[in-house]
Amino acid sequence: MISRRNGILFIEEVSTVEIAEKYGTPVYVTSKEQLEKNIEAYKKAFPNAEKLYAVKANNNLSIMKIIALNKFGADVFSDGELYLALLSGFDRSRILFNGNSKSDREIEMGIQADVKFSVDSFDELKAIESIAERKEKKVEIAFRINPDIDPRTHPKIATGLKESKFGIPEDQALKAYEMAMRMKSVAPVGIHCHIGSQILDLSPFVSAMEKIGKIAKEIEKLGIQLDFIDLGGGLGIDYEGKGAPSAEDLAKALLPAYEELLSNLRAEPKLWLEPGRSIVGNTTVLLTRVNAVKRGYKNFVAVDAGFNLLIRPAMYGSYHRVLVANKEGEEEELYTIVGPICESGDVLARDRMLPKIEKGDLIAILDVGAYGFAMSSQYNGRVRCAEVLVSGKRTAVIRERETFGDLVAKHRIPEWI
């Protein structure tokens, strides 16, 4: 998706220098071609699985529409994500409403929309039953099981350890299914787990499949017919240029374990997956302009994007590759790229060997399509930047830069102050 032409970084057929001039900086730029490649890779690796895109990774409507057009379903984690998923054309029969703390209002919205639920607690199960009964609906559910598996990733994105807030503990799983079976307005038809994110070692996925397989067998003994086994998302991407497993690698590891699981069951539950990062992560670059270069304890390069637009480095200590987009040259100095936010933690990249950088240069931060713009804020009174989609030679704004009006749109000043 990216290449150099006469020293200038291109995204597909478009110069990043021209994008920055035309749309201003900072700006998120997404390659449609790369997005479609990632989607194709999953389709090819898992032709028979149901693939649900994890909306939280990137909820831009145009990006979601491209994914929905490819017959992916959606994993939504809030009422707002459900709204966005329906709006961008995801088929409601392929939407799973996830979440560990759903309000009654959210449950009502999901039931009204006829989507399936991944149930995270006994309290939620009871709430679904009572709301569904009132609405005279039958709701298909899975339970999110916490399989107590270490995904060997950053602690903040490990979600299947017994200490984590997600899921029903393994040893309570049968009780949950028994309770659901006795309910009138709930149909337990699936099992769900999601062990974490940015997982580069595939063995935890296989362990999760094996654990879920054991539970599935027990559930079947209760007389439940399972329609699906949802193993969640979490496949990592290659942030550091050191390689990462592909969707095909995941299939090679996972499908034999899935076949083994099926051989122990009477029913033939379909495999569901919920990729987020591995669909959108490497599709997008953040272009940011250098406001100042300051030589002090370190060579600080102060750019116009900070953790208001990309919080991953500050939040998880994440590494993103950084390039100078407007020129090529010998990598001759160590630079630390910092944002404009009034916090010392506003560092995008530390100690990178890069060509000589001056005020006005254009910096590209790679692989920001997942948990990038989606986690942005208006902190420090900074408007969110634009998002642009590139396809071949074409470009289009897919989200406009916010204005000062957006900063104050919801403020109200009582007349008595």
Ligand X SMILES: *Cc1c(COP(=O)(O)O)cnc(C)c1O
* Interaction of residue 51 with ligand X, rule CB under 6 A: no
Alpha-carbon distance of 44 to 251, in angstroms, equals 10
Site for ligand X in 339-378 (CB under 6 A): 370
Shortest gap between Cβ of 75 and ligand X (angstroms)? Answer: 5
Stretch binding ligand X (CB under 6 A), from 119-127, 239-247, 269-277, 397-405: 269-277
Alpha-carbon distance of 330 to 293, in angstroms, equals 18
Is 185 exposed, middle or buried, given 0-12, 13-18 or 19+ CB atoms closer than 10 A?
A: middle
Stretch binding ligand X (CB under 6 A), from 49-57, 59-67, 381-389, 396-404: 49-57
**Selected binder of ligand X within 12, 23, 25, 75 (CB under 6 A):** 75
* Interaction of residue 57 with ligand X, rule CB under 6 A: yes
Of 74, 56, 58, nearest in space to 367 by CA:
58
Please say whether the beta carbons of 57 and 78 come within 8 A.
no
Q: How many residues bind ligand X (CB under 6 A)?
A: 18
The beta-strand segments (E) located in 92-212 are 95-97, 116-119, 139-146, 168-169, 186-192
**Selected binder of ligand X within 25, 60, 88, 197 (CB under 6 A):** 197
Shortest gap between Cβ of 11 and ligand X (angstroms)? Answer: 22
Q: Which is nearer to ligand X, 159 or 326 (CB)?
A: 159
Shortest gap between Cβ of 132 and ligand X (angstroms)? Answer: 22
Residue 265 carries which side chain, given as an amino acid letter?
Answer: L
In sequence order, the β-bridge partners of residue 349 are 337
In sequence order, the β-bridge partners of residue 50 are 272
Alpha-carbon distance of 405 to 229, in angstroms, equals 46
Site for ligand X in 220-259 (CB under 6 A): 232-235
Q: Which is nearer to ligand X, 197 or 308 (CB)?
A: 197
**Selected binder of ligand X within 276, 306, 313, 372 (CB under 6 A):** 276
Please say whether the beta carbons of 172 and 234 come within 8 A.
no
Judged by the rule CB under 6 A, the positions of this chain that interact with ligand X are 54, 56-57, 75, 77, 98, 194, 197, 232-235, 274-278, 370
